[in-house]
């Protein structure tokens, strides 16, 4: 059975990770930043699932791990958004680069 | 898996966690149902009771052989016991701090939430310290992180608090992602998430490529986790978050969260990388071969923490940098692995010292800043005249942080140095950086003392100390001095109870 | 008696302590304590001297300082030379203290003055009695301090202050040389004790060059103390002190210590002909050099001071030409007549309150006692026949002649001419001609001042007879007794008779010339040189020695100090501030990076990761 | 009893601490009295020890050793490994330093009458400082030594920074940082030794470093020994201080309250010399020997450098500060001479300078109290208004420039005696300093006491009085007694020096 | 490498996923960005299917493409976003970031581009959900329970932070 090689999935994950990272570090809108972080977590999930099937000793554990990850990511997104809400209520902005009253 | 197998596990070993969890639940329910006018401050005592009970149950567990539940997802080994003790001790002190926390604006309407979020965070940290399973560790880490994100932002009408938590969550998310990415590779290389199994696989690894990936994973996990301990390169959030967060939360972040960070780093690294083969011949250990990286990061952390602290005018920021520096000192121990003889007791002792002195300092800061409504270092001015005992307590903490003999901080540093020098070749450069950093730290630490003793005070408001804070101060002062003068109280305890932490990895 | 000789210096020390602790409450009564104590010392010294005529050298020591296995000793020794010196010192000191009772009358810090005198006497006696070089050095410096205190007695006078400082520092330079010499000698011979040193030197454990070096270093000490060229210039300045002090310290005792030192260490010098040469040349040069300056000075005490320098040069010359006895002999006679001269000069000053000889004159009749006394001293120093100076100077000329160094001999002869000339210039300027003084009522000094002068005058006249070509060379024989080989010299130098004749003629010529110019005024004062002449100016300014020092050594030290303080500020301080600035700069950069931009934070963290990974990839060596 | 005597001595100032601490803040007189009384127990105990020594009791009887800290869990190898004991001990050398400490502390406590505020804090810190100093000189292992060493640092920091003159904070910082660096270097050396040998006991280390012992861990290589020795020297050179590490000390001398400078110049600086003798020379004799030239070189440099700079200062305190540098140069020269004379001279110089500097700074305190200045151009003619003071000043100046009959001479003489044997060239350069010393001391002292009376200092009845005579007379008396009969001090030292010479391999 | 259907599917999905990511970066309107990312999430779900992780794929679709995206959109709406997200002009910063990402990517790529472990037969796709369930409730009970606490925390936290306080409501 010639499937897609492991490396292909890994490279895909890597690319998505990098994109997510770039997004998280450059986008001004905090929502996008949060969602970019989700993308990074997703990239990790791809790794986990790929290793789960094509790794050294295939096992279901990777998939279980990824389920945990997805849940955590969701929770994190929720908390992140909640924080953003309270911030927005006080500051009326969602731009991360305007959050700099504390520095140096 | 049937119910009987379930019952066959020694759940008693998880008693402390259950107690904390239960307390958190009770608190949340009480908070929900108690009338609004009810002073939520009283919940603190309940939380404290929970922590004390957990502590007591943990102490009763000390004599147990190491217990493993559900293929290591929970392990009560000596490592876990030792560090959970620290965590619970620190948490108890911080709860007392929080009880006395009276900011000029903010917390009152969410005091209840504060306590149980605090307990869940603590639970996360405890899970992190007693699991031998990557998934559980990760979940514990996230439980801690999520709880602390919320804690940081809990003064939600405070601009700084909002901003701090936003920064914290963004940086935390990125760090989580990086950590997870690294963990996914670790899983890939070993095909398991059980640390013991992984360790065996990794030790037997001879393929260069897999070793390389292992290395990549190592760095990702390390950098990701360095977020938790606020070490370079992932330290920059700390000053801003510390500045914005409520003081007890800062104490929490700088103490509990940091301990938890070290716990997980040690867990993972000692389980996995210390025995992992460092080259294709399996002749070298991975950490042995690559400790230069951790060492450089440790050095960098020390330098950054101390040098930038020099310029700080805000107390919380200053202590943020100071805590960065201390993370650096501890990383030195990690990087050198305590020279092979001094790792665990060094880290444990130093963290104990750090708990005492840092919580003490934050107690003083909390007291002063909530009275003056400012965090500027000038609020310390004239403390020596106004309240000499408070000033002396503060001095003790500062001296300990600076590593002056007679305090725990000194013995802690001494232990770290022993580890750096005992091997051949010794880590002289690292030790040099550490010592230079210590000297630079004198400048800002003693700058604070200059404020305390040499400067006149501007307001002669009488300083009122709540009993909780009072207790914290007394415990911290006494601890700092006692463990500094007679460190063997701690050393003997840890050696008698935990020996050399030999049951660290071996699974049943 | 000799075993109790240690009491001799103790008496003056008691004076010092008592007067110091009494804190000025004794006022002029302090003088009695001083005088009584010194008298006790003097009597004891005399007794010791008497006893020493009969008995051999007495020496006793105790352990003073242990250095490892080496024990350094302290104690005292009574040999011929220091028995003699004890008497001279205690006598002169006694006389000066008597004199001061009158001279210092009315002085506010009268008892302090006596305390200082006591201290000085103690130190000088201690120096003389020292059984070893270390102890000698010990008192040597104390003597310097005594001198310093006395010169600076009028502390509020700027000149006194400077003179005291200068005296201390210039002698200190010599002292350091001496110290180094002593130390080297110790390492060469393993001892500080005279006897052991001389034995070791004789047995030749030290190389010739080493000996020369050591001898010269020791001689430097003597040069400093005895005001020899080039360390002479403090001595004339020291005349800022009270006049009795000049008589005691800067004529009779301390300055003679240098000569005493060379005499004591004579065997060492003898072992190195080069060192002897240096001593002789320095002495000879100093003699004529100082005499020439004395020719034109207008301050009576300065003339006497330069005369002292010149006479000390004479003594050095004598020692340098192996005239051990001659040197010591002249030391003794000079002590008497120079002390006399100073006291007499003091008496004059006391009478008319000036030291400028241009403002004196015509005092012969008015100061009935002082005049003749001064004349006695002047004659003695000029080498007028049958006075003490005549005999001792004659010995020196003989020694120089015998040594065969004719140039030095010539220098000595010329010097004795000059001596006679300037001394009589002084005498005539003060006592003859008409009065140029503002003080109309000139009063003779009280008898308490005259008595010491009389004693000294008596001694100045007769003390030469202990060593004459005609009545025997008692002094020389006694000094040499038991030490002939060591001292290597004769008890008496033989020379052609014409030397003595010539010496007499030369000094008479000097007197005559002075008479013609200053008394009879037959010759104009510009007969020799014009006042505005270059040569005259050079002499008047003492060969510009002070200026040269000021512009060379003084400026060099000051310059170096300033240079070093720049180093202190800019280099030592600079390094420190560079470090602090760079650390602070680092902190500044670090905190600049902390922009408050959360994405920046994440970016830096990630950058750190990337760098680590890249380095790992490049150096890890895992991938081939 | 004997066993506890030393601990009793070291911690006896605690009595005073408790007494002072119990006093209400405002009780100026009582606090001052109690503060002074607090220094008496150690004084008497040290006298007692001294009398015991002179009556022939072996000093080793007083040693005490109690297990204290055990690092690591290495019992499997050897239970004694990485154990730090609380061990105090005495030998002739430390006995002398102890005496110096107790005497000067008591006198400085008297001199503290000029402290104007916050007496309570002052005396508390003062007494803690004394504990630290006493501990330093009795500690038998390096860690203990270091702990006491740092224990002197912190109180001194506060004493300087709180009660000093105008620029006090800067001075205290400077003090802290330089000494911090010095002690950091020291700590590194101590810990390297500790980590590599598992012990910090001085005797055991000496044994191991000279004879070579079996090390369980990584051994200490030859070149590392050089490094460690050098680091010891540097650490203590900062404390001493030696050019170019001196600038902190100048500030401290200028800015600290005079009574603290008495302690500082009198005892604290001496820890540097003590350390070099004990550790640099004691533990690494071989290496020290080959570094001796450098030691002497820096000694000569400091000697001359300090002297030249003292020449141009206008503040008397600065003159004294540079003079201290210069005098500490002599110590280094002696220590580098590597023979009995030199080392003994160095120790003498340490003691002697301790006494002289203490006296000088006591006088500075008196002067400042009366005139409010120590600037030389503003002073002059003090001999008129304060003749006794001037007398002491002059005597002290003379002592400082090494006048025979005073302690300074003995030490300088022995140092040069030793140095001319081993390093004649450097010694010859060094003697220039003797002249310069005379020049700057006389310049400064005479500018103050001689000359025309300055309007600032005209007031009569300003002279020393009452209690002020005690420190002045005691110190001058000691200076002179040592100067007149040096064997007083030389006796106890012989044993230590002999042992040292043996280790250095003969002379 | 033969071109199998699986491969084509992979390439297609990968392309969409990456495209979504790229669009996330390049688009200017915030809502568009989120929508673009939905495609990515969906295609990742597809990838999971290819990896015989059906359950995970479903969860992915439900949570990411569904829940999270919608929550995010709500977030955007609630915060009255500026329509467009103009990236700040941070020239050097961005270049450094790109360099760092490039370095990171290359370093990791070197490790994985040819990492092909011999495939061992695994039966993950058979009763995938059951396998997961068994695993979850036998081995991973504890993390699962901790997870529940975590979700509770998130819930409480979200309420605490996002809730409009009464008094504030009155003010506004």
Give phi and psi for C193, each to the nearest 5.
-70, 135
Res E83: pLDDT: 59
pLDDT, averaged across chain C: 84
C602 lies within 8 A of chain A by CB: yes
Cβ-nearest to B236 among C587, C604, C623: C604
pLDDT digits (tens, 9 = 90+) for B464-508: 888 889 999 999 999 999 999 889 888 888 888 887 777 765 543
Number of other CB atoms surrounding residue D80 within 10 Å: 15
Cβ separation C605–B234 shorter than 8 A = yes
Of residues D76 and D238, the one with the higher pLDDT is D238
Strand pairing partners for B133? B194
The pLDDT of C191-195, averaged and rounded, is 85
Percent of chain D with pLDDT over 70: 97
The dihedral formed by the CA atoms of B36, B40, B42 and B46, expressed in degrees to the nearest 10: 110
Task: Quote the minimal CA–CA distance from C592 to chain A in Å.
Answer: 6
Q: Rounded to 5 degrees, what angle do the CA atoms C563, C566, C567 make? A: 90
pLDDT of E169 > 50? The answer is no
DSSP string, B216-249: HHHHHHHHHHHHHHT-TTS-THHHHHHHHS-HHH
DSSP string, B474-492: HHHHHHHHHHHH-THHHHH
Number of other CB atoms surrounding residue C407 within 10 Å: 11
Task: Quote the minimal CA–CA distance from A89 to chain E in Å.
Answer: 8
Q: Kindly list the distances between the CA atom of residue D178 and the CA atoms of B396, B447, D43, D147, D157, in Å, as whole numbers in the listed order.
A: 22, 15, 30, 17, 12
3-state helix, strand, coil in chain D (%, to 5): 75, 5, 20
Res B507: pLDDT: 43
d(CA C313, CA C223) in angstroms, rounded, equals 9
pLDDT of D460 > 70? The answer is no
Res E81: pLDDT: 59
pLDDT of E1 > 70? The answer is no
Res D455: pLDDT: 65
Supply B247's token pair. 């003081």
Angle, helices D92-111 vs D40-54, to 10°: value is 150
Cβ separation B499–D73 shorter than 8 A = yes
- Burial (CB < 10 A; 0-12, 13-18, 19+), residue C81, is buried
Res D457: pLDDT: 60
Residues 115-134 of E with CB under 8 A from A: 115-117, 119-122, 124, 128, 131-132
Nearest to D503 by CA among D209, D63, D199, D193: D209
* Residue length of chain A: 104
d(CA D66, CA D3) in angstroms, rounded, equals 11
Task: Quote the minimal CA–CA distance from E35 to chain B in Å.
Answer: 21
Q: With beta carbons less than 8 A apart as the criterion, state whether B472 and B363 touch.
A: yes
Of residues B351 and C488, the one with the higher pLDDT is B351
DSSP string, D8-21: HHHHTHHHHHHHHH
Give phi and psi for C78, each to the nearest 5.
-120, 105
Look up the ipTM and state it.
Answer: 0.91
Cβ separation E111–B113 shorter than 8 A = no
pLDDT of E171 > 50? The answer is no
Q: b/e map of D396-422 (b: 16 or more CB within 10 Å)?
A: bbbbbbbbbbbbbbbbbbbbbbbbbbb
Q: b/e map of D265-304 (b: 16 or more CB within 10 Å)?
A: bbbbbbbbbbbbbbbbbbbbbbbbbebbeebbbbbbbbbb
Of residues D258 and B505, the one with the higher pLDDT is D258
Q: Kindly list the distances between the CA atom of residue C550 and the CA atoms of C232, C544, C555, in Å, as whole numbers in the listed order.
A: 14, 10, 6
Number of Cβ pairs closer than 8 Å across B and D?
101
Q: Is the peptide bond before D244 cis (omega within 30 degrees of 0)?
A: yes
pLDDT digits (tens, 9 = 90+) for C413-453: 888 888 888 888 888 888 887 777 776 777 788 888 888 88
CA nearest to D431 within chain C = C176
Q: Rounded to 5 degrees, what angle do the CA atoms C188, D419, D399 make? A: 110
Q: With beta carbons less than 8 A apart as the criterion, state whether E52 and E125 touch.
A: yes
Of residues C110 and A21, the one with the higher pLDDT is A21
Percent of chain C with pLDDT over 90: 2
Res A1: pLDDT: 47
Report the Cα–Cα distance between both ends of chain B, in Å, rounded: 19
Res B142: pLDDT: 94
Residues 127-166 of B with CB under 8 A from E: 127, 131, 133, 135-136, 138-140, 142-143, 146-147, 149-150, 153-154, 156-157, 165
Supply D335's token pair. 């220590």
pLDDT of C23 > 80? The answer is no
Q: With beta carbons less than 8 A apart as the criterion, state whether B14 and B74 touch.
A: yes
Q: Rounded to 5 degrees, what angle do the CA atoms D298, D299, D300 make? A: 90
* Residue indicated by tokens 């909390």: B366
* Residue indicated by tokens 């207790």: B471
- Chain Cα centroid distance, residue B429: 26
Number of other CB atoms surrounding residue B137 within 10 Å: 25
Within 13 Å and on the Cβ side, how many CA atoms surround D253? 28
| Residues in Cβ contact with D87 at an 8 Å cutoff, skipping those fewer than 6 apart | D63, D64, D65, D66, D139, D140, D141, D144, D201
Q: With beta carbons less than 8 A apart as the criterion, state whether B425 and D198 touch.
A: no
Q: What is the pTM of this model?
A: 0.91
pLDDT of B205 > 60? The answer is yes
Q: Given a contact as 3+ CB pairs under 8 Å, which chains touch A? A: B, C, E
The pLDDT of D425-431, averaged and rounded, is 90
Cβ separation A79–E154 shorter than 8 A = yes
pLDDT digits (tens, 9 = 90+) for D290-311: 888 999 999 999 999 999 998 8
* Residue length of chain B: 508
| Residues in Cβ contact with C105 at an 8 Å cutoff, skipping those fewer than 6 apart | C28
Within 13 Å and on the Cβ side, how many CA atoms surround B449? 28
DSSP string, D364-411: HHHHHHHHS--BGGG---HHHH-HHHHHHHHHHHHHHTT-TTSHHHHH
3-state class of C78 per DSSP? strand
Number of other CB atoms surrounding residue B39 within 10 Å: 9
Res D43: pLDDT: 93
- Chain D residues lying within 8 Å of C189, measured CB to CB: none
Report residue C487's pLDDT band, with 50, 70 and 90 as the boundaries.
low
- Alpha-helix residue ranges (DSSP H) falling in D55-200: 92-111, 119-138, 142-163, 168-197
Nearest to D177 by CA among D189, D190, D161: D161
The kind and range of the H/E element at B199 are: helix B195-203
pLDDT digits (tens, 9 = 90+) for B400-446: 999 998 899 999 999 899 888 888 777 889 999 999 999 999 999 99
Report residue C526's pLDDT band, with 50, 70 and 90 as the boundaries.
low
- Burial (CB < 10 A; 0-12, 13-18, 19+), residue B502, is exposed
Task: Quote the minimal CA–CA distance from B332 to chain E in Å.
Answer: 26
The pLDDT of C516-529, averaged and rounded, is 72
Highest mean pLDDT among B286-295, C234-243, D303-312, E64-73: D303-312
d(CA D191, CA D367) in angstroms, rounded, equals 45
Percent of chain D with pLDDT over 90: 26
d(CA C259, CA C326) in angstroms, rounded, equals 11
pLDDT of C140 > 60? The answer is yes
Res D224: pLDDT: 86
Report residue E168's pLDDT band, with 50, 70 and 90 as the boundaries.
very low
Res D217: pLDDT: 67
pLDDT, averaged across chain B: 87
The pLDDT of B100-115, averaged and rounded, is 72
Considering just the CA atoms, what is the radius of gyration of chain E in Å?
Answer: 21
CA nearest to B209 within chain E = E111
The pLDDT of C290-316, averaged and rounded, is 86
d(CA B70, CA C271) in angstroms, rounded, equals 103
Of residues D443 and E121, the one with the higher pLDDT is D443
Strand pairing partners for C472? C468
d(CA D340, CA D367) in angstroms, rounded, equals 39
């Amino acid at each position: 059975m010639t499937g897609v090689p492991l490396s292909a999935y890994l490279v895909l994950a890597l690319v998505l990770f990098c994109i997510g990272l770039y997004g998280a570090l450059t986008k001004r809108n905090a929502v996008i930043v949060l969602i970019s972080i989700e993308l990074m977590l997703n990239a990790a999930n791809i790794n986990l699932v790929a290793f789960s099937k094509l790794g050294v000793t295939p096992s279901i554990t990777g998939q279980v791990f990824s389920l945990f990850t997805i849940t955590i990511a969701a929770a994190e997104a929720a908390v992140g958004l909640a924080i953003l809400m309270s911030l927005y209520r006080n500051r009326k902005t969602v731009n991360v680069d305007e959050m700099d009253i504390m520095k140096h | 898996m049937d119910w009987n197998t379930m019952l066959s596990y020694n759940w008693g070993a998880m008693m402390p966690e259950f107690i904390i969890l239960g307390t958190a639940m009770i608190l949340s329910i009480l908070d929900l149902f108690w009338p609004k006018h009810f002073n939520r401050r009283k919940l603190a005592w309940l939380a404290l009771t929970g922590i004390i009970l957990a502590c007591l149950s943990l102490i009763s567990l000390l004599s147990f052989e190491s217990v493993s539940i559900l293929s290591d997802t929970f392990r009560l080994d000596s490592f876990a016991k030792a560090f959970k003790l620290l965590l619970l001790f620190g948490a108890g002190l911080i709860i007392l701090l929080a009880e006395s926390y009276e900011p000029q604006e903010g917390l009152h309407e969410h005091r209840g939430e504060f306590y149980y979020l605090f307990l869940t965070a603590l639970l996360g940290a405890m899970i992190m310290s007693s699991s031998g399973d990557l998934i559980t560790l990760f979940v514990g880490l996230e439980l801690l992180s999520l709880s602390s994100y919320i804690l940081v932002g809990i003064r939600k009408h405070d601009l700084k608090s909002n901003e701090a938590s936003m920064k914290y969550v963004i940086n935390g998310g990125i760090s989580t992602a990086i950590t997870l990415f690294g963990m996914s590779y670790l899983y890939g290389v070993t095909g398991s998430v059980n640390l013991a199994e992984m360790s065996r696989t990794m030790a037997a690894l001879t393929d260069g490529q897999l070793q390389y990936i292992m290395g990549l994973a190592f760095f990702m996990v390390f950098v990701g986790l360095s977020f938790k301990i606020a070490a370079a390169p992932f330290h920059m959030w700390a000053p801003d978050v510390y500045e914005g967060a409520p003081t007890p939360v800062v104490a929490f972040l700088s103490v509990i969260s940091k301990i938890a960070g070290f716990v997980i780093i040690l867990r993972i690294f000692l389980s996995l990388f210390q025995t992992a083969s460092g080259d294709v011949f399996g002749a070298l250990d991975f950490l042995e071969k690559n400790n230069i990286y951790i060492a450089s990061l440790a050095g960098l952390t020390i330098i950054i923490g101390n040098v930038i602290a020099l310029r700080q005018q805000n107390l919380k920021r200053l202590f943020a940098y100071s805590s960065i520096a201390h993370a650096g000192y501890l990383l030195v121990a990690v990087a050198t692995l305590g020279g092979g003889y001094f790792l665990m007791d060094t880290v444990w002792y130093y963290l104990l010292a750090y708990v005492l002195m840092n919580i003490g300092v934050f107690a003083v800061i909390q007291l002063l800043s909530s009275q003056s409504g400012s965090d500027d270092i000038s609020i310390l001015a004239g403390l020596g005249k106004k309240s000499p005992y408070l000033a002396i307590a503060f001095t003790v903490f500062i001296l300990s942080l600076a590593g002056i003999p007679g305090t725990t901080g000194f013995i802690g540093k001494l232990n770290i140095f022993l580890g750096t020098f005992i091997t051949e070749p010794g880590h002289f450069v690292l030790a040099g950086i550490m010592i230079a950093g210590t000297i630079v730290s004198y400048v800002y630490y003693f700058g604070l003392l200059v404020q305390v003793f040499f400067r006149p005070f501007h307001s002669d408001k009488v300083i009122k100390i709540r009993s909780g804070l009072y207790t914290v101060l007394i415990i911290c002062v006494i601890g700092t001095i006692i463990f500094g003068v007679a460190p063997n109280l701690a050393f003997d305890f840890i050696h008698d109870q935990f020996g050399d932490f030999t049951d660290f990895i071996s699974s049943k | 008696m000799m075993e109790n000789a240690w009491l001799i210096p103790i008496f003056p020390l008691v004076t010092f302590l008592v007067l110091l602790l009494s804190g000025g409450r004794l006022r002029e009564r302090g003088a009695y304590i001083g005088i009584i104590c010194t008298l006790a010392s003097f009597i004891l010294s005399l007794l010791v001297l008497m006893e020493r005529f009969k008995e051999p050298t007495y020496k006793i020591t105790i352990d003073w300082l242990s250095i490892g296995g080496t024990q350094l000793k302290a104690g005292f020794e009574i040999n011929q030379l220091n028995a003699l010196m004890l008497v001279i010192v205690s006598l002169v000191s006694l006389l000066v203290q008597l004199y001061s009772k009158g001279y210092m009358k009315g002085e506010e810090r009268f008892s302090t003055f006596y305390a200082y005198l006591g201290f000085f006497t103690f130190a000088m006696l201690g120096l003389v009695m020292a059984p070893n070089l270390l102890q000698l050095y010990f008192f040597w410096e104390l003597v310097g301090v005594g001198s310093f205190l006395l010169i600076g007695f009028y502390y509020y006078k700027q000149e006194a202050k400077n003179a005291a400082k200068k005296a201390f520092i210039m002698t200190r330079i010599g002292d350091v040389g001496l110290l180094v010499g002593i130390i080297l000698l110790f390492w060469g011979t393993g001892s500080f004790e005279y006897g052991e040193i001389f034995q070791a030197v004789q047995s030749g454990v030290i190389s010739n060059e080493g000996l020369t070096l050591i001898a010269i270093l020791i001689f430097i000490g003597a040069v400093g103390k005895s005001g020899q060229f080039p360390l002479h210039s403090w001595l004339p300045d020291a005349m800022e002190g009270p006049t009795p002090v000049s008589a005691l310290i800067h004529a009779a005792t301390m300055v003679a210590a240098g000569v005493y030192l060379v005499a004591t260490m004579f065997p060492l010098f003898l072992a190195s002909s080069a060192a002897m040469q240096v001593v002789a040349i320095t002495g000879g040069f100093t003699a004529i050099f100082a005499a020439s300056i004395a020719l034109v000075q207008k301050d009576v005490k300065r003339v006497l001071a330069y005369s002292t320098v010149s006479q000390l040069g004479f003594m050095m010359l004598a020692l340098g030409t192996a005239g051990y006895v001659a040197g010591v002999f002249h030391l003794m006679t000079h002590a008497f007549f120079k002390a006399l001269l100073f006291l007499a000069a003091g008496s004059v000053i006391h009478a008319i309150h000036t030291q400028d000889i241009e403002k004196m004159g015509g005092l012969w009749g008015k100061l009935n006692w002082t005049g003749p006394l001064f004349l006695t001293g002047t004659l003695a120093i000029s080498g007028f026949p049958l006075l003490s100076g005549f005999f001792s100077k004659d010995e020196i000329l003989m020694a120089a002649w015998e040594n065969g160094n004719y140039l030095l001999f010539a220098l000595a002869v010329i010097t004795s001419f000059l001596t006679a000339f300037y001394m009589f210039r002084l005498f005539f300027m003060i006592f003859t001609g008409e009065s140029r003084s503002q003080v109309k009522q000139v009063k003779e000094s009280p008898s308490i001042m005259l008595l010491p002068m009389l004693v000294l005058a008596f001694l100045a006249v007769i003390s030469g007879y202990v060593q004459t070509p005609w009545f025997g060379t008692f002094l020389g024989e006694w000094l040499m007794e038991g030490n002939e080989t060591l001292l290597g010299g004769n008890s008496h130098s033989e020379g052609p008779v014409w030397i003595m004749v010539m010496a007499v003629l030369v000094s008479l010529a000097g007197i005559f010339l002075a008479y013609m110019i200053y008394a009879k005024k037959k010759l104009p004062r510009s007969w020799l040189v014009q006042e505005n002449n270059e040569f005259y100016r050079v002499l008047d300014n003492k060969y510009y020695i002070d200026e040269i020092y000021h512009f060379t050594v003084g400026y060099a030290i000051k310059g170096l100090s300033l240079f070093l303080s720049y180093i202190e500020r800019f280099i030592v301080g600079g390094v420190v501030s560079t470090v602090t600035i760079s650390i602070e700069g680092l902190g500044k950069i670090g905190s600049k990076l902390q922009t408050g931009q959360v994405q920046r934070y994440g970016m830096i963290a990630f950058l750190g990761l990337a760098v680590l990974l890249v380095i790992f990839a490049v150096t890890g060596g895992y991938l081939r | 009893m004997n066993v506890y005597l030393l601990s009793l001595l070291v911690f006896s100032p605690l009595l005073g601490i408790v007494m002072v601490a119990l006093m209400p803040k405002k009780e100026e007189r009582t606090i001052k009295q109690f503060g002074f009384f607090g220094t008496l127990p150690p004084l008497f105990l040290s006298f007692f020890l001294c009398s015991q020594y002179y009556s022939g009791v072996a000093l080793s009887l007083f040693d005490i050793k109690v297990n204290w800290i055990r690092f690591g869990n290495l019992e499997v190898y050897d239970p004694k490994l990485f154990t730090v004991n609380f061990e105090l001990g005495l030998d002739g050398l430390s006995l002398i330093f102890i005496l110096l400490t107790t005497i000067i502390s008591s006198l400085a406590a008297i001199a503290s009458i000029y402290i104007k505020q916050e007496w309570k804090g002052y005396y508390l810190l003062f007494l803690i400082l004394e504990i630290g100093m006493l501990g330093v000189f009795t500690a038998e292992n390096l860690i203990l030594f270091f702990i006491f060493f740092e224990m002197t640092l912190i109180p001194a920091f506060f004493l300087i920074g709180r009660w000093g003159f105008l620029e006090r904070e800067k001075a205290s910082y400077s003090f802290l940082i330089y000494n911090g660096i010095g002690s950091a270097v020291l700590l590194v050396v101590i810990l390297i030794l500790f980590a590599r040998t598992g012990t910090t006991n001085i005797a055991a280390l000496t044994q191991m470093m000279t004879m070579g012992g079996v090390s369980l861990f990584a051994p200490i290589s030859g070149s590392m020994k050089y490094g460690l020795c050098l680091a010891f020297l540097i650490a203590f050179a900062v404390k001493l201080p030696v050019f170019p590490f001196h600038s902190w000390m100048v500030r401290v001398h200028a800015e600290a309250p005079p009574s603290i400078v008495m302690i500082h110049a009198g005892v604290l600086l001496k820890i540097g010399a003590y350390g070099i003798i004990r550790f640099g020379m004691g533990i690494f004799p071989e290496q020290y020997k080959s570094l001796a030239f450098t030691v002497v070189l820096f000694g000569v440099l400091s000697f001359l450098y300090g002297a030249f700079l003292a020449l141009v200062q206008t503040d008397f305190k600065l003159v004294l500060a540079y003079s201290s540098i210069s005098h500490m140069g002599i110590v280094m020269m002696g220590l580098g001479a590597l023979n009995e004379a030199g080392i003994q001279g160095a120790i003498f110089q340490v003691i002697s300078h301790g006494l002289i500097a203490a006296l000088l700074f006591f006088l500075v305190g008196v002067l400042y109290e009366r005139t409010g200045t120590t600037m030389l151009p503003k002073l002059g003619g003090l001999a008129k208004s304060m003749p006794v003071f001037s007398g002491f000043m002059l005597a002290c100046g003379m002592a400082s420039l090494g006048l025979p009959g005073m302690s300074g001479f003995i030490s300088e003489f022995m140092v040069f005696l030793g140095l001319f044997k081993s390093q004649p060239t450097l010694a010859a350069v060094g003697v220039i300093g003797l002249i310069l010393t005379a020049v700057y001391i006389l310049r400064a002292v005479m500018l103050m006491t001689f000359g025309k009376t300055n309007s600032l200092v005209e007031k009569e009845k300003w002279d020393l009085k009452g209690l002020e005579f005690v420190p002045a007379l005691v110190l001058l008396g000691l200076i002179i007694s040592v100067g007149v009969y040096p064997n007083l001090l030389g006796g106890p030292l012989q044993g230590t020096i002999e042992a040292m010479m043996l280790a250095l391999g003969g002379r | 490498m033969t071109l199998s259907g699986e491969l084509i599917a992979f390439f297609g999905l990968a392309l969409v996923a990456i495209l979504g990511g790229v669009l996330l970066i390049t688009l200017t309107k915030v809502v568009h960005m989120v929508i673009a990312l939905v495609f990515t999430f969906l295609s990742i779900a597809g990838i999971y299917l290819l990896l015989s992780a059906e359950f995970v794929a479903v969860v992915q679709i439900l949570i990411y493409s569904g829940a999270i995206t919608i929550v995010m959109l709500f977030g955007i709406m609630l915060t009255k976003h500026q329509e467009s997200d103009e990236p700040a002009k941070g020239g050097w910063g961005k270049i450094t970031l790109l360099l760092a990402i490039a370095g990171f990517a290359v370093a990791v790529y070197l490790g994985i581009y040819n990492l092909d472990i011999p495939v061992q037969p695994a039966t993950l796709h058979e009763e995938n959900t059951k396998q997961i369930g068994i695993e979850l409730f036998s081995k991973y009970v504890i993390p699962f329970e901790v997870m529940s606490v975590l979700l509770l925390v998130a819930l409480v936290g979200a309420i605490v932070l996002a809730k409009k306080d009464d008094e504030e409501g009155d003010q506004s």
